[in-house]
Amino acid sequence: MENNKNSEILKTAKENANKWLEGNYDEETKAQVKFLMENDEKELVESFHSVMEFGTGGLRGIMGVGTNRMNKYTVGITTQGIANYLKKQYGEKESIKVAIAYDCRNNSQFFAQVTADILSNNDITVYLFEELRPLPELSFTVRYKKCHCGIVITSSHNPKEYNGIKVFGDDGAQVIYPHDENIIREVKNIQDINEVKFTGNKNNIISIGEEIDNEYLKRIKQLSFSGDLIKKHKDLKIVYTPIHGTGITLVPKILKEYGFENIYNVPEQDVIDGNFPTVRYPNPEETDALDLAIQKAKQVDADLILATDPDADRVAVAIKNNKNEYTILNGNQSASLLVYYILNQWKNRRKLTGKEFIIKTIVTSELLKDIALKNGVECYDVLTGFKWIAKVIRDNENQKKYICGGEESIGFLIGDFIRDKDSVGTCAMVAETAAWAAEQGKTLFDILIDIYLEYGFYKERLLYLVKQGISGKEEIGKIMANYRNNPMASINDSKVIKIKDFQSLKEKDLISGEEYPIDLPKSNVLQFYLEDGSKVSVRPSGTEPKIKYYFEVKDELSDQTRFEEVDNKLNQKIDGIMASFGLK
């Protein structure tokens, strides 16, 4: 049975490859296809067994020749589909405008130019950044220039072999239903590469850069609460690394414009390079990605370390702990610090009216909700992905006031003039929070302990299993099906009291037997709530070949001197939960 299946996959791959050999593709591409057919059957299958699909947020994959790879032609088909959708959506009534940005990845600038050329040849006005820029600036640009769409060429924090396309709607947020499905339909309708208008129209392409930078940074500066306080603590030592990415263009600048004077760069990682030569993965969530920044911090005795990912929408924060050692905060901790500080400032300035709200994703710590509710601020839970945070902002416009929101994967957004996570504004606000702590004679770690003392000690851990290729995707599907069909009655000797299944949109109370509907879009996520207050979330990644496990446990912290004792206890609890899932 398996041999028959593999034979069919190989047959499909060869059929797709032959179409490229016979079609209107350049000779270099054809030579690479022919090489795969004659020398590398495995790579041929991976490259041609299926057509890379435009998903709900865009396109992402390994670069190379083939229908299942990122290249000029898959990018071209996707772009032509977007152009066809925009013309149907907006018709002849107005001039359609699209903004395009790109990051530091190999071929990003090339793919951006291909995208701009195709759109321009479809009579669409294109605002193309003259150099690489942070993703959140593109979100800002869509709104500032009143564009109908935005496109960023990026693969975020994926390995160097990857690239991708993210598509934004006219509100500056990544597209969701029905726009995503309409774009997908238009992309699938393109049956022949000759339908793609590759030749650009220079008259329709407008170069942008410094003007947008200035307006974007101006808005971020308006978020600051404590200019005078920053002046008092302008000498805080801050180490910043862009990890070879786009953050180098604006993060040091906004920190200086906020008033901080001691900004230390990591020279090796200031170099814009899509090969990311100093790290295994360009993901600031990976601890070794911050090794060089921590080395620099030790040299200068820094108070704060900030590291952004290649497209500069996410930021990792590292600080000194109670042992004077640098420790990297997870996204839940950095988000909690920001929510705590920002709501404190709103409250002290008597700006809270009862109509304000924050947003977090369902896999993000419940601590954010606890902080919000105690301050009389509503907290929305949404699916993973900032497009859902943007949707809640949009749905509540002119009725309620969005303050801030975040997700555990180190993404955060302050204010509503951008509609995606924003490391540029977040870096500035983290630095301001550190200045606020210093004014009290404290560090950010001290503030984190204060939060735990007041709200409870929350501890989180993320674990993921990588499952590459066709077989990996099937294995992930089997794992999720098993959790659904054979749920555990207890985990780590604690009874499972509630299960949320975001695919069936049902919440089941295992104590009463009652079921309740979940008012969110469908998503392949399972959550298990335990009697001891722990929460476990499991989901396949939407952008990477991974299945992710999110563990959250909680205990009381009665005194700061008991921090290590409770921390160890919580770590042991997470270890036990992982063992119950066969993960340790």
Q: Kindly list the structural domains of the chain, giving each domain's residue range(s) and its CATH number in brackets, ordered by start.
A: 6-49 (no CATH), 58-213 (3.40.120.10), 234-454 (3.40.120.10), 457-580 (3.30.310.50)
Q: What is the pLDDT of residue 1?
A: 43
The answer to which of 225-239, 256-270, 348-362, 543-557 has the lowest mean pLDDT is 543-557
The verdict on pTM exceeding 0.85 is yes
Asked if pLDDT for residue 584 goes beyond 80, the answer is no
Asked if pLDDT for residue 147 goes beyond 50, the answer is yes
Q: Is there a contact between 126 and 79 (Cβ–Cβ < 8 Å)? A: no
| Cis status of the peptide bond prior to 252, with omega within 30 of 0 | no
Provide the 10 A C-beta neighbour count for residue 547: 21
Q: What is the mean pLDDT of residues 29-49?
A: 94
Of all residues in the chain, the percent with pLDDT exceeding 70 is 98
Q: What is the pLDDT of residue 56?
A: 59
Q: What is the mean pLDDT of residues 13-25?
A: 95
Asked if pLDDT for residue 70 goes beyond 90, the answer is yes
Q: Is there a contact between 545 and 468 (Cβ–Cβ < 8 Å)? A: yes
Catalytic residue list: 156
Asked if pLDDT for residue 555 goes beyond 90, the answer is yes
Q: Is there a contact between 257 and 321 (Cβ–Cβ < 8 Å)? A: no
* Residue 315 or residue 177, greater confidence: 315
Our measurement of the distance from residue 386's CA atom to the centroid of its chain's CA atoms, rounded to an integer in Å, reads 7
Separation in Å, CA 227 to CA 223, 232, 376, 436, 559: 10, 9, 26, 11, 33
Q: Is there a contact between 269 and 243 (Cβ–Cβ < 8 Å)? A: yes
Q: Is there a contact between 73 and 193 (Cβ–Cβ < 8 Å)? A: yes
Asked if pLDDT for residue 4 goes beyond 60, the answer is no
* Residue 57 or residue 216, greater confidence: 216
Q: What is the pLDDT of residue 89?
A: 92
Q: Of the candidates 342, 315, 340, which has an alpha carbon nearest to the alpha carbon of residue 329?
A: 315
Q: Rounded CA gap, 437 and 443, in Å?
A: 6
Q: Rounded CA gap, 32 and 54, in Å?
A: 24
Q: What is the pLDDT of residue 552?
A: 98
Q: What is the tally of helices (H) and strands (E) in the chain?
A: 19, 23
